[in-house]
Amino acid sequence: MNRFVTAERALRTAAPHQLLDAVRRVLAEEYAADSVELFMADYGLTVLQPVTVLPETLDPVSVHGSPAGRAFGAQEPFIEGLSEGLVRVHLPVTVRGDRLGVLSVTLPGGQHARSRLGELGEIAEVLGHEVVVAERDTDLYLQARRKDRLTLAAEMQWQLLPGRSCASPEYELGAQLEPAYAIFGDNFDWSATADRLMLYVSNGMGEGIEASLLTNLAVNALRNARRAGISLADQAALADQAVYAHYRGRCYLSVLMFDFDLASGRALVVDAGSPQLLRLRNGAIEHVTFEAQLPLGMFEETAYEAQRFDVEPGDRLVFVSDGVHAVASPGGEAYGDAALARAILSTRLLPAADVPRAVLRELTGHRGQAAPNDDALVVCLDWRGRP
């Protein structure tokens, strides 16, 4: 275990941009590693991008079908056999359920590699935590996440998000936005305490920078109210006032807001607009509707009321924006509830973190073109309940 303590100390004392150098050095000295590479999942969750100093780069690795991709998808170490008695161990780099990437370590094969698998997995976890902290001070890891240049609107939106997945004993969450490199106004946000989970799915009007600015204003207004300890309905009312004060009704934002009690599964809900919710329970899909209220910022001083909603252990909740629900096929047929239900049923065995991307792939097939005309957002919540 002294080896692990040495590796942990090396990572915690390394400069933010030198985490990979630090883990390479300690794995070579303490674990006889021949080579070490860190790959970050790109914004579209299609490839694993190597962390290197630009412009020097290794080739990206596909998330689908590659050894590193298998470790990323299964969230389990995967051992790849190499020549000359070596193996490459691919280790998921994940922080509290948020999948960041994969650490690939080349080692002597056989028992040497297998006996160190547990420690190497813990080192990959520590590395993930240090990467999250380091992103405050360096762009190195954020640059590695992108295989293409982001639009300015997309840059603003990705910086606004809490992550793409998270997990706790009571629930698992996964979310994805498309088109990943040119998103406009769709957004998701969440915040958890020991007893509560607050989840927000929003759909802003407009395109480009204007849509992103609207969403930034509304999401930060909601966060400001939430962090003041204000109730869900009053959060909506204060954010509504902030958006109306700036736009005077010219622009507004739709949002579906949840406040879950982790112990009981009871939730308060404010439905202020277009995001849709489908529930998978005991193998059956149901479109869940709430009393519709006005979007944030449409009129001055709108009052909001919270409704009650219960979830049960085993429930899967799938939230979608209108860029999913209303998207049309080449023949003009809306995606709608029926196609969404088929997509949710076909992905029922996947973990929550994988569901949004899989549903969006189904949506691409329905749309019949690679480039969408609107943002598409999918959020999946698997509810386990408190033991």
Q: What percent of the chain has pLDDT over 90?
A: 80
Distance CA 247, CA 217 (A): 11
Tens of pLDDT, residue by residue over 8-46, are 999 999 999 999 999 999 999 999 999 999 999 999 999
pLDDT of amino acid 326: 76
Tens of pLDDT, residue by residue over 88-130, are 999 999 999 999 999 999 999 888 888 999 999 999 999 999 9
Instruction: Tell me which amino acid residue 1 is.
Output: M
Q: Looking at the whole model, is its pTM more than 0.75?
A: yes
CA 129 to the chain's CA centroid:
16
Cβ–Cβ < 8 Å for 154, 181:
yes
pLDDT of amino acid 126: 97
Q: Classify residue 53 as exposed, middle or buried by CB count within 10 Å of its CB (0-12, 13-18, 19+).
A: exposed
Q: Classify residue 67 as exposed, middle or buried by CB count within 10 Å of its CB (0-12, 13-18, 19+).
A: middle
Tens of pLDDT, residue by residue over 65-96, are 999 999 999 999 999 999 888 999 999 999 99
- Across 284-292, average pLDDT: 95
Q: What percent of the chain has pLDDT over 70?
A: 95
Residue for token digits 């596909």? 62
What count of other Cβ atoms lies within 10 Å of the Cβ of residue 368? 10
- Across 335-361, average pLDDT: 90
Q: Classify residue 337 as exposed, middle or buried by CB count within 10 Å of its CB (0-12, 13-18, 19+).
A: middle
The 3-state DSSP class for residue 223 equals: helix
Give the H/E segment covering residue 73: helix 67-74
- Give residue 190's pLDDT band: very low, low, confident or very high (50, 70, 90): very high
